[in-house]
Amino acid sequence: MGIQQQRQDTIAALVAPGKGILAADESSPTIAKRFATIAVESTEANRREYRSLLFATPRLGDSISGVILFEETLGQNDDDGTPLPQRLVQQGIVPGIKVDKGKGPLANAPGDEITRGLDGLEKRLEGYLQQGARFAKWRCVYHIGGHNPGPLAVKANAEVLASYAAICQSLGMVPIVEPEVLIDGDHDWERCAQVSETVLHEVFHTLHRHRVELETMILKPSMVTPGKDHPQATTAEQVAEHTLRVFRRVVPAAVPGINFLSGGQGPEEATVNLNAINQASHRPWTLSFSYGRALQEPALAAWGGHHDHREVAQQALLHRARMNALATTGEYRTTLETR
């Protein structure tokens, strides 16, 4: 199979109607924080058990098209010795991999950060392909403050996102481009919309310069919302209105899928907002989800580190996946949560 055909097959599977992406790519420090909420030690064995139960959830592939893995998980096996990426393939789910190496301070840009990991990326991707990964994800973050994000941060992060995406496509992998405008702060709608539009405009301008094929990439952005410390109450309809207004201005129609991150929203809140976006007027892209905590939180609480809670945890994950799948077509109703 040629590289172009490989990308086309992968993107077709990832943007399948009525499905979304599960982000299970928490770094070691992040998964340790998640486990601490249920008083479970973050050991390799516990991480393997938790993630393997997620991936073995019966009928998960009905609502989930792809799963983003952490590097450690890509090399782990299920209890019966099946590699975890292969377990996903058996469910009709495409395995993916987080490939950035985390963020740090951006020199000469106080309050802004840059994501690292381009050095040696091509060689790492070749190894991930051999382990079964078919798409990748790279996250950059943008802080909203009095002077943030500055022009340097906007340009520098767009450059690394585009470089990463171009390298992925050269090897036949589909890149997920994730420019996350953080929800932290007390900014209002207008400020979030302004930053989001600026960030996305620069990202797509830079993708164009790097000759990234828009038809075989996925955008994973934030929704447009006020900061979490802003006193103004919000509705899902407002989130949809402001988000789509920005995206229509700067996201090319050639992009096949936009899979929103939850960005600190609660499980039901993330579903309600996605549903409202899909109930809005015509848009050229498939609008879906790529949630981490908003999909996993109920399952993690149900599991609690107990092996005999496996099936209850799987049911909790499957329920959230199904609710969000309904939201991708605007058919979610809050009354379905109690069924």
What domains does the chain contain, in order, with CATH numbers? 3-338 (3.20.20.70)
**In this structure, are residues 52 and 78 in contact, taking their beta carbons and an 8 Å threshold?**
yes
Q: In the block, which residue shows the tokens 């840009």?
A: 109
- CA–CA separation, 316 and 245 (whole Å): 34
- CA–CA separation, 258 and 261 (whole Å): 10
User: Stretch 309-324: mean pLDDT, rounded?
Assistant: 97
Read off the pLDDT of residues 259-287 as tens digits, 9 standing for 90 and up: 999 988 999 999 999 999 999 867 899 99
**In this structure, are residues 211 and 168 in contact, taking their beta carbons and an 8 Å threshold?**
no
* Whether the predicted pLDDT of 324 surpasses 60: yes
Read off the pLDDT of residues 20-55 as tens digits, 9 standing for 90 and up: 999 999 999 999 999 999 999 999 999 999 999 999
Please give the mean pLDDT across all residues of the chain. Answer: 95
Task: Provide the pLDDT for residue 198.
Answer: 98
Task: Provide the pLDDT for residue 335.
Answer: 87
Q: Which candidate in 19, 98, 137, 220 is catalytic?
A: 220
User: Stretch 202-208: mean pLDDT, rounded?
Assistant: 98
Q: Which candidate in 178, 297, 311, 331 is catalytic?
A: 178
Among 35, 10, 24, which residue's Cα sits nearest to residue 74?
24
Read off the pLDDT of residues 83-109 as tens digits, 9 standing for 90 and up: 999 999 999 999 999 999 999 999 999
Percentage of the chain beyond pLDDT 70 is 99
Task: Provide the pLDDT for residue 282.
Answer: 79
Task: Provide the pLDDT for residue 76.
Answer: 95
178 is catalytic: yes
Task: Provide the pLDDT for residue 71.
Answer: 95
Task: Provide the pLDDT for residue 85.
Answer: 97
Read off the pLDDT of residues 70-79 as tens digits, 9 standing for 90 and up: 999 999 999 8
Task: Provide the pLDDT for residue 339.
Answer: 54
Among 307, 335, 250, 308, which residue's Cα sits nearest to residue 45?
307
Query: 173-210 as b/e, with b when 16 or more CB fall inside 10 Å?
Result: bbbbbbbbbbbebebebebbbebbbbbbbbbbebbeeb
User: Stretch 130-149: mean pLDDT, rounded?
Assistant: 96
Task: Provide the pLDDT for residue 233.
Answer: 82
220 is catalytic: yes
Helix intervals (H) in the chain: 3-14, 28-36, 44-55, 71-74, 84-90, 121-130, 151-170, 189-209, 236-250, 267-279, 293-303, 310-327
